[in-house]
Amino acid sequence: MPRFTLRLTAADDISAAEAAASFYWLGDQRSSFISSIGPGLEQLGAVPAPNVDVVRIALTVLAADRSVPRKGGGSDWNQRDIHLEVPVSDAVIWNAVAEDLAQTLGFLSGDRWSLHFEQERPAVEVPVRVDGGAVPSRVVLLSGGADSAVGGLYSRSLLKDDEHHVLLSHFANTMLRPIQIRVAEEIERLLPCGSQEHVVVHLGRRSERIDGTPYPSESTTRSRSLLFLALGLAVASVHRVPLWVPENGFASINPPLGRERLGSLSTRTTHPKFLKDLSAALSKAGAHAVIENPFALATKGEMYRRVVDLIGLEEASTFLSATHSCALTGQRAHGFGSERPCGVCFGCVLRRASFASSGVADRSNYIAPSDDSAVQAWLNSKSVEQQVRNFIRRGVRMRDLVTLSLPDDYSLHEASSLCERGIRELRSLYS
């Protein structure tokens, strides 16, 4: 079983065995992470200790997820066993919820996790950013994708003149940063009501260990958005306000793409069970964990129509087309910028269908289709369009919904209606 430890200090001489099993979050170039924030999160304000712990846990989970290659691919990924040790402010409290948290992580990534928490040694006091001004109404995750952009715009529309909100962006891939900044600027331009702050955090694992040897690399990283959630909760915890995680409900409940691919439309990052269980586990440990998805019962096309209602058809087209929804990597190997959307992954297919069903012009510059036979062959190998067509023909049946692990307070009737509307939007792409 792979075992990893998060360490906040490093000796001058480190054995190869320790280097291979450790992630170091340090304030210098020896750190395992490229980061704009330190392990105490001082740059984000007076973050309570339990929420500092949450970010450390999430960062360790993501680093380990990236460092243990899976076998197989597609829907045939293997289930990995991973053990983590993380220093926290109160090891007794966190170890009491370790099993709950491990189960929640397992639901997210499909792996078996085990967690052990060590008492953090007293740290050197670092000046904390003093937060002045009014308390924000909420913190909104802004990834650069269409759903989060709609969430940021909708949040701003609710603000009174004397209110403000915080948009929180995280990136490891530097390609996302200009997209996130542009979307935040557009939200401010389009709706001049209230005010906003845009906090951008750069945090990601380096490719090399502290001793210079390369980490193994796994590209799927189902846990990648856990860190995003943790950072959002950290900022929200300063004033104990809600964290908005905007995502269309159709993708969130993760309906089955086919008989052999149950729950594979997207990751489970915003699945209602995951958000509910994560919030419960973190709250037991004393962390601020108020998480809301304002679009939990909406399709992506319905979200697009909300944008039209707010800013009009032409502005909606420009605003939404400038977002990035593509989940595919490998564009550079075929001569394209990494920001260029493929058009054939599920994120792109759902995006295209949402434009089509909402009547909003799609100005996205997709790679597909391509006149280059090599590029088209690559696109064909990555495309989910045939699976989506099969999914549309088959539909979602009640017995499928029962397998989706929906919380008790999420009715199957609501899930069925959401899936019917989502499938209708997908069908509009191929009609």
Among 128-137, 149-158, 282-291, 358-367, name the one with the lowest average pLDDT. 128-137
Q: pLDDT over 70 for what percent of the chain?
A: 94
| pLDDT higher than 90, residue 400 | no
What DSSP string runs through 194-217? SEEEEEEEEEEE-SB-TTSPBPP-
- Total-model pTM: 0.95
> Which tokens go with 378?
């690559």
In order of 147, 300, 316, 324, the CA distances from 351 in angstroms are: 10, 8, 14, 10
> Which tokens go with 341?
């959307």
**3-class SS letters over 113-159:** EEEEEEECCCCCCCCCCCCCCCCCCCEEECCCCHHHHHHHHHHHHCC
| pLDDT higher than 70, residue 127 | no
pLDDT at 221: 76
| pLDDT higher than 60, residue 126 | no
| pLDDT higher than 80, residue 42 | yes
* Segment 218-233, tens digit of pLDDT: 987 788 899 999 999 9
Bigger pLDDT: 256 or 376? Answer: 376
* Segment 76-98, tens digit of pLDDT: 567 899 999 999 999 999 999 99
| pLDDT higher than 60, residue 75 | no
> Which tokens go with 40?
């105490």
What is the set of domains in the chain, with CATH numbers? 3-119 (no CATH), 139-292 (3.40.50.620), 324-430 (no CATH)
As a whole number of angstroms, the distance between CA 141 and CA 151 comes to: 8
Amino acid occupying residue 413: H
pLDDT at 108: 94
What DSSP string runs through 10-62? --SS--HHHHHTEEE--SSTT-SEEESS-TT-GGG-S--HHHHHHHHHHHHHH
Upper half-sphere CA count for residue 176 (Cβ side, 13 Å): 20
Contact, 156 vs 307, CB < 8 A?
no
As a whole number of angstroms, the distance between CA 100 and CA 302 comes to: 35
Query: N- to C-terminal Cα distance for the chain?
Result: 49
pLDDT at 158: 98
